[in-house]
Structure 1
Amino acid sequence: MPSSKNNLTNKHVLICRTDAVGDMVLAMPVCGLIKEYFPSCKISVLGRTYTRDIAQASRHIDGFVNFDDWQGKSVEEINTLLATEKIDVAIHLKDLSTVAWQLKRAGIKKRIGTTNRLYHWFTCNTLVPLSRKNSGLHEAQLNVKLLRGLNIKRDLSWNEVSDYYGLSRFQPLNPTFEALLSPDKFNLIIHPKSHKNSKEWSLDNYSKLVHRIDQNRFKVFISGSQKEHEELLPWVQQHEGLITDISGKLPLSQFITFISQADGLIACSTGPVHIAAAAGIFTLGLYTDIKTKDAGRWGPVGKKAESLTAVNADMETITVDDILNKINAWQKP
């Protein structure tokens, strides 16, 4: 149990994670674990505009501080914004020197960083020994290590991580989108792109997969962002009648709910694969074997989540049969 000097009862904790949607999902267990020890504390996250909806979907997160609101403002103006939040503790899950310096200048009393970032020695007053690059742990498990700065020395096993997402605040699904979900078939979402942020399985392979999926058992949805919708459109048109295209049609808040009400999802290392795992539906991640980018570090973690791993960084070594063997074993709840 944390010592009295680390008592967060009625305190305000800021979790800093200013990158992507999937990263925000993997920060949720930190929030859930803090809440387990200090249910009355307030937890906010510092994130980007596009991660607000996923942050607000976790019951462990009470507030959102928008990093994008800092853009174009002076240090003093940002300090004024932060002063209204009355933050007691800041934990740097994302390494960003500008954030670290700003929170120091704002006078936040306790600032937790890692010994492996030189600027944290100057901007933080509590340092945790942590090397992400050389660790064999998952990103969610590494995030939890930062809680040692609060004397919370609890580690989460792979199987325990999913107990701490708290992904349960789903917005009501628009009836138009709800009507797309089949009450009888297994609703399978395929999210083929990643904005080139990770190794992707080719569209040619997805085409072969779609043609071999049992249409009597599965209803297949293709998802993606608005930008990806434009990229996918010719491919989607080639598969009319086999798939339902929802790419670019749902705002993130609705897409989160849609995923939670579907039955399964296939994707590479990108945000939706983590949303699906956290929502508790069947999830299959397609991953490279490159260290620091593999499933061991970035794979989906959930009660119904699993991954397939390429050989020698060649995503083509994941076969259609590999995927069919996985999804054909999935059963609609």
Structure 2
Amino acid sequence: MLKKTRFLLIRTDRIGDLTLATPAISALREKYPDAHISVLASSYARDVLKNNSDLDTIITDTGFFSTLSKIRKGKFDIAVIFFLNFKVALLVYLARIRIRIGPVSKIWAVFINKPVFQHRSRIKKHEADYNLELLKVLGADTRRRNCRIILTPEEKSNSAEILIKLGLEKEDFVAGIHPGSNGSALNWPEESFAELADRLAKEFNIKVLLTGSAAETRLLERISSLMTSKPFILREALPLRQFIGVVSSCKFFITNSTGPLHLAAALGIPTLSFFPPIKGCSSVRWGPYGDGMNIVLSPGGKDCLRCEKDACARYTCMREVTVDSAFLAAGKMLNTLKIDATTLCPGRFSGWRNMPVTKGPFTIFHLDDGRELRGGQGQLLNLAKELSALGHRNIIICRKNSPLSREAARLKLKTFFLPFFFEWDPVSAIILRCKIKSETKNQAWPAILHSHTSHTAAHSWLAGLGLNCVRIVHRRVDFTSCRGISTDLKYARASRVIAISGPVRDMLIKAGLPPEKITMVNSSIDLSAAPWQKAGFEAYKKNSRDKISALFGIKKDAFWTGSLIALVPHKDPLNFIRSAKEVLSAKPDTHFLLAGKGRLRGQAQALVRRFGLGQNIHFLGYYPEPYEILSALDLFVLSSREEGMGSVLLEAMHAGVPIAATSAGGITDVIENGKNGLLAPRENPRALAEAQLRIINNPALAKDLAAEGRKRLSEFSSVKMAERTLRIYEETIENSKPY
């Protein structure tokens, strides 16, 4: 019987540091599911890992010699040291652990025999990403993943009881405010916390909960005394697990750069945090980590190497972060939560979009050479709208008189036209280069060239040579480009590549791109743009169905199944038609609506004639109002063979339509089979037909799938997409050099 490999992972510092090690723990367990994995942690922080199923044991650091004895008894084969100091380096050496992996930057790295060269003080990436990077030598998947903190139902219940004893009720909307940091960073001023807490309590009817350590009780009392409203104060020094449970009960969490910030982010609680302009405290390395809604506010100006305290003329720099900006940032979070701010206090909140930017404003050139207005162009417009609302300059670089140019003009977004003769077109590149220079002269921040199509990545590369700029490339499809120098220059030489789904990211890694260069940001939907807001959804749905029935002669009382796709090979409209044939053999009164245009239209129509289904399958062509189609349907079908993510699925979910789709590409990032839709293998019309029939024959199932789809939409809001993309811009610029 083969011996299990025994791993010892070491992180013996604070709560936040240990929390940021959990993505690496998950990655190691994923790579070695049968291994024995232990963690050495401080007694102060170890309970962060309680209930973590990725671990077999947690060893507490109880002093040098007793800890050495514990490690020797563990008979470990491999040690991974996430934060290397002399004590830890000597421990693993004296414990005779055969393979010792750790970051190399200090002299005591001589005790490490599998060094990973990292200079974390240069702040090139997040601390959690540095931790993941150490596992490359073990063959682990080092892609970004969320931190893990696991609370049992009993722990949650016990923490809820603590809040009830304070006077809070279960249905209260609680904002947790943790104003201290135990000296780990410069804090936002006490009076600012007090004013922000008052405004939240009064204007949004939010219950404010002040939390802190035992040593911070007086700080909490001072803030309470500065408030006109009465906050709830957690004065009791709780065990760490109970404190984590209290944090999990908050709807959002406001704090400085401190451990509880990372606890909240790991629990998926939206966070607002305040970071000082000190390089060692940079939010690029120490900010909240994960896919949740996290906003960081920091004073403007150049980062300090260290804080000179009273000797510095700007020692009061944290006061530069105004209460107004913090209040509007909090409103931004409320706007993305399932409980909208207007439901807390109707009519009092005008929106987060007036929030001042903390870096920039940036000038972003969005490049798209498309001749149609499809999903990718819609995503570009969503992003530009949200970034413009935050005060950044957005210029849409597109073809003259293209549908994208007309829609951008309608949205009052600035446009600039290029001929885009061919992929490596020097004429377009030269014109673009002149435009970049004219728009960004005397600007402190590098220009951002964001290519939304593969061809424009080439124009971006040519135009940006030698300029103070960063190049961002979006990849929206999951099929591989031809390998070669062209692909290398467009993607591998970009500052950052954004993948819209997990399968797209996997394809890029398989094509040879370094995982650390790729960030996944799902496509989005503008939840405020629904056309039924004035008349109401049911009235809009009825009017749309009446209109389409009259235009195309479709029976209003029939069951309508439909799709809204380009009629091109990777969307596989022929699979849609073949599945319709199977459905019609069981449900002959069903009508199928296929909206869209493309080079397979003739082939699709010929297949319909061959099957003799012309009375039941209707080709609508390009339809300018997609929500009219979607709201009129009883069932939406996506038949793709290859799919980056399928943003039309988000629109279908928003329109309240149940979905049957293939499992191609990034569709599985949106649809969880059996929860908010039914999935079938790609290129399998019979299986796709069976999924449709399950929904047609079961109205209760159809209703449940549609309801769950609408619930999931908040995960894909354009606000979240813009926030994540802006974070990529900020991180890339922080680490950029003109190329």
- Which among 77, 89, 93 is matched to residue 104 of structure 1? 93
**Match of 2:92, as an amino acid?**
L
Q: 1:252 to 1:305 in 2, by over 3 A?
A: same
**Match of 1:58, as an amino acid?**
N
TM-score (norm 2): 0.40
**Match of 2:116, as an amino acid?**
V
- The DSSP-based 3-state class of the residue aligned with 2:74 is coil
Question: Are 1:23 and 2:17 an aligned pair?
Answer: yes
Q: Deviations over 1:83-119 (max 9, x none)?
A: 3223221111112111111211111121112332322
- The DSSP-based 3-state class of the residue aligned with 2:120 is coil
Q: Does the 8 Å CA contact 1:210/1:242 hold for their aligned counterparts?
A: no
Stretches of structure 1 that go unaligned for 5 or more consecutive residues are: 1-7
Question: Are 1:166 and 2:159 an aligned pair?
Answer: no
Q: Does the 8 Å CA contact 2:224/2:230 hold for their aligned counterparts?
A: no
Q: Does the 8 Å CA contact 1:192/1:223 hold for their aligned counterparts?
A: yes
Stretches of structure 2 that go unaligned for 5 or more consecutive residues are: 304-316, 340-739
- Which among 166, 178, 183 is matched to residue 191 of structure 1? 178
**Match of 2:174, as an amino acid?**
N
Question: Are 1:207 and 2:200 an aligned pair?
Answer: no
Distance in 1, Cα, partners of 2:241 & 2:118: 33
After superposition, residues 14-53 of structure 1 pair within 5 angstroms as 14-53=8-47
* Alpha-carbon distance, 1:201 to partner: 0.2
**Match of 1:326, as an amino acid?**
A
* Alpha-carbon distance, 1:228 to partner: 0.6
- The DSSP-based 3-state class of the residue aligned with 1:188 is strand
Residue in 1 aligned with 2:522? none
Q: Paired residues, what number? A: 314
TM-score (norm 1): 0.87
**Match of 1:103, as an amino acid?**
V
Q: Deviations over 1:312-332 (max 9, x none)?
A: 461111111111112123135
Distance in 1, Cα, partners of 2:249 & 2:215: 24
Residue in 2 aligned with 1:70? 63
**Match of 1:161, as an amino acid?**
R
Q: Does the 8 Å CA contact 1:110/1:126 hold for their aligned counterparts?
A: yes
Q: Does the 8 Å CA contact 2:136/2:142 hold for their aligned counterparts?
A: no
Residue in 1 aligned with 2:460? none
Moved more, 194-203 or 54-63: 54-63
Q: 1:321 to 1:62 in 2, by over 3 A?
A: farther
Moved more, 20-29 or 243-252: 243-252
Q: 1:169 to 1:184 in 2, by over 3 A?
A: closer
Moved more, 49-58 or 104-113: 49-58
Higher normalized contact order (CA 8 Å, seq sep 6+, divided by chain length): 1
Q: 1:200 to 1:70 in 2, by over 3 A?
A: same
**Match of 1:176, as an amino acid?**
E
Residue in 1 aligned with 2:620? none
* Alpha-carbon distance, 1:9 to partner: 8.3
- Which among 240, 260, 279 is matched to residue 248 of structure 2? 260
Moved more, 205-214 or 77-86: 77-86
Q: 1:91 to 1:101 in 2, by over 3 A?
A: same
Moved more, 125-134 or 263-272: 125-134
Distance in 1, Cα, partners of 2:35 & 2:13: 24
C-alpha RMSD of the superposition:
2.2
- The DSSP-based 3-state class of the residue aligned with 1:284 is strand
Q: 1:308 to 1:231 in 2, by over 3 A?
A: closer
Distance in 1, Cα, partners of 2:215 & 2:180: 10
Distance in 2, Cα, partners of 1:43 & 1:86: 12
**Match of 1:256, as an amino acid?**
I
Residue in 1 aligned with 2:113? 125
Identity %: 28
Q: 1:235 to 1:289 in 2, by over 3 A?
A: closer
Distance in 2, Cα, partners of 1:185 & 1:49: 34
Question: Are 1:59 and 2:53 an aligned pair?
Answer: yes
Question: Are 1:327 and 2:330 an aligned pair?
Answer: yes
* Alpha-carbon distance, 1:206 to partner: 1.0
Q: 1:79 to 1:238 in 2, by over 3 A?
A: closer
Moved more, 110-119 or 235-244: 235-244
Q: 1:57 to 1:192 in 2, by over 3 A?
A: farther
Q: Does the 8 Å CA contact 2:176/2:209 hold for their aligned counterparts?
A: yes
Residue in 2 aligned with 1:134? 122
Distance in 2, Cα, partners of 1:327 & 1:50: 31
Of Structure 1 and Structure 2, the greater helix share is in 2
